[in-house]
Amino acid sequence: MQDTIPVLTIDGPSGAGKGTAARAVAARLGWNFLDSGAIYRALAVAVVDRGVSREDESALAALAASLDLVFGADSTARILLWDADISGRIVTEECGNLASKLAAFPAVRQALLDKQRGFRRPPGLVADGRDMGTVVFPDAPYKVFLTASAEVRARRRYNQLKQKGIDVSLAHLTEEIEERDRRDRERQIAPLRAAADAVVIDSSDLSVDEVIQVCLSVVQSH
């Protein structure tokens, strides 16, 4: 049965390092990987490409239900939407901000719920997101909530974008991250919060390898 397949959820705000840690932990364990944020970002791309109103909840939910999305299994981490590679498009701040706004619609979240749960396949799953441990996989035996200060997360994002040749203001990034945090915490459906049984990790002063080791220890200690 699907609910007997082990799941490690790694939740937290934008820029806390969830994606990097989750992908590395999944590779170490030999488990499947789910980047739930990428699903919402893919929806944002689809909304732009198909000209769907950003205020029409029923139309947005219908589009969400129709997404044909494939995560690449290789180290390039490609993401295909209707067979088109959107990996480069979903990393922009504009896409992330739109995804956060779309995620506030209850009908959109419901439409994407089954898609996310479908990633729970043997031998196990590492799921990265904001409500993986509280809503999508509440029965997961292993849960982590990864956080860091807004300033640290903005600096990390700034460095990532600069490496990609994208010019961006650090002050503007910090403001956007703080606004996204507020929106994610205050939304009525599945607000950003740590599950009661999650191990909370502040990555502000930790290296990527240290975060990965703590996440692995959560699984291995059981």
Please, what are the domains in the chain?
Answer: 2-220 (3.40.50.300)
Instruction: Return the structure tokens found at 28.
Output: 């170490």
Residue type, 164: K
> Tens-of-pLDDT digits for all 222 residues of the chain?
567 899 999 999 988 889 889 999 999 999 999 988 889 999 999 999 999 999 999 999 999 999 998 876 555 568 899 999 999 899 888 898 899 899 889 999 999 998 899 889 999 999 999 899 999 999 999 999 999 999 999 998 888 888 888 888 999 999 989 988 888 888 877 788 999 999 999 999 999 999 999 999 999 887
Q: What is the DSSP secondary structure assignment for residue 4, as one 8-state letter?
A: G
Q: Single out the residue of 3, 119, 115, 100 nearest to residue 47, CA to CA.
A: 100
Q: Where are the alpha helices (DSSP H) in the chain?
A: 18-29, 36-50, 57-66, 93-102, 106-117, 150-163, 170-186, 208-220
85: helix, strand or coil: strand
Question: Which amino acid appears at position 56 of this protein?
Answer: D
